[in-house]
Chains A and B, each alone.
Chain A
Amino acid sequence: MSIVSRWLLAASALLLGGQSALADINMPVGVTPISKEVYGLHMMIFWICCVIGAVVFGVMFYSMFKHRKSKGAKPADFHESTTVEIIWTAVPLVILIAMAIPAAKTLIAMEDTSDAEVTVKVTGYQWKWHYEYLDSGISFFSSLHPDHNAARQKGSGVDVSQFDNYLKEVDNELVLPVGKKVRFLHTSSDVIHSWWVPALAVKKDAIPGFINENWALIEEPGVYRGNCTELCGRDHGFMPVVVRALPEAEYDAWVAENAPAPAITESTGAAATTAVAAVEEDADREWGLDELVAKGEGIYNTNCASCHQANGQGLPGAFPAITGSPVATGPIDAHINTVYVGVSGTTMASFANQLSDVDMAAVLTYQRNALGNSVGDTVQPSAIKALR
């Protein structure tokens, strides 16, 4: 980007309400070599379009002021000129070629995912992301932060302007190293999602049955936020992406702290993977009704309430109510089966890989003994463990 365009952009931003306005009206420059190139391309085409617009509109408005009947203009009667036609076919063609060359170069660079040092598999779920570090075995889900999730409910009464990054905060951030080429593998377990972080200029669809590739080399430590950008159902607007880029040493420390012991492959949170022994023990002991219900409430609100609603009433026709549900108040095995296996052909997915033994037992017990239900029995984590 030239000095002139930088200056012009700043000037237009000032006109529109001061320096801070700039970030709110233009593409971020970003923190990767690719994002900077893309930003440069964007500004280049933007200014080319401005020039074309200025010329076209200039001639047009000049004509509209000069050649009006009220000013006594008499109509000429020319209506053809092959030379002129050729000129205004050829000139745009040349401009297009000039734009296409740098665009093609950037595109080639974007598609080159070779020589990555870290690979993260990103799987879209309705409506959360699952991250799996293929090198270190760390894996966890990342959902909208519970506080934001509570605030965004219709009629929550919460003033959302109190949050610094409303709807762009998650429970577990994706931690990445600075200065290393990171490769992303995108896929989905249900519908199509799209993983986007503007500051990294990475946007790729997560498609069931496909694995797409992408990459980023982050140059500055920081927190970069984005969203799912492919309509993916009711809570499409509520599955943010948050990337925390750490300097290499800090990143290595984070990996060492969170890498799972070989036996455990799956858990609900990065932090939880540390307490391997504790988890084992938790799954085996006998839990009381109250502690399961207490734990289940949070799990329910994060994982189930988007569809079945926080009050358990569901949305008629789309998602059944849990309150009074024949399944949630009926035989335990059928209830477990619904959640563990899912209901094929519907949006009710299998939660076997999404919830730990304890979490699944808790949420099932919660459904049976809260939200207006009071069956009175418990689902023990050991029962879930036995299914695995």
Chain B
Amino acid sequence: MNVLDIRNVTKTFGDFAAVDNMSLSVREGEIFGFLGANGAGKSTTIHMVSSLLKATKGDIEILGKNIAKFPRFAKANIGIVPQDLAIYEQLTAYENVRFFAGLYGLRGSLLQERTEEALEFVGLGDKAKSFPKSFSGGMKRRLNIACAIAHRPKLIIMDEPTVGIDPHSRNYILQSVRKLNEMGCTIIYTSHYMEEVEEICTRIAIVDHGKIIAEGTKEQLKAIVTDTKEIWIGVRSEEGVGIEALRSIPGIVSARIDDGMIKLQSKAEINNLNEIIQQLIRSRADIRSVEEQAPNLESVFLTLTGRNLRD
């Protein structure tokens, strides 16, 4: 059964199409990754699914029911974790979660139970009576998640839930996503961090300019890049490394330097490793390591768009 069906959906702002004739299905039990650069149209898509925006064209169904015809049914089955923190500073963690869960019709002792459960789940059980202003960025993010799950929605949509937080909180959140999934929730996970998406998602759609340019499991996506290979060369100093000269070597698709690591993409069928090394020796780079990387989502994105995900 599909939890979500998006059919030929377009959303225009003025004459700019933020989402352009998109079609997409999410099956029950998936952790569906929605990967794309900033401005690709991820949030806009999510906002249409959660009835915050109306699609200009196309249909959206939640659990087989059209959201325009059954808005309450759709809304009741979705929990949304917004990209920006959406909590009240004047309410305690407990009051925040209880308030939002109450809007989904929970009452009395059940409301209290689910609120406590949600706070426990994100590891804020002992902070129930504290106000968000005493929280770290990661704790606020976790509260942001608790507010979306207390009513036990079938579909949880997370819009970049790990932006700007410490590694500890990030791991905590990624683990919570897996746990929620094990508990039976279907999850749509939006991110522009390909490592995260690669780590937890069972299926991934890559979005660019409002369109889905590739969709499938990690393995299926990586199979797209059989014709390119990725070469990483560690250097002691970035100075004097002639990136331009490397780019002009036959077969090289792209070259960049990132924290002492030269990252090259090259056509798979051309063996140009000798020329690359010679060029680096000429420019007196102090080579520390050379390795050929297995294809990752970054290279998939690069192959498909000719751009890097983070640019």
Same complex origin of A and B: no
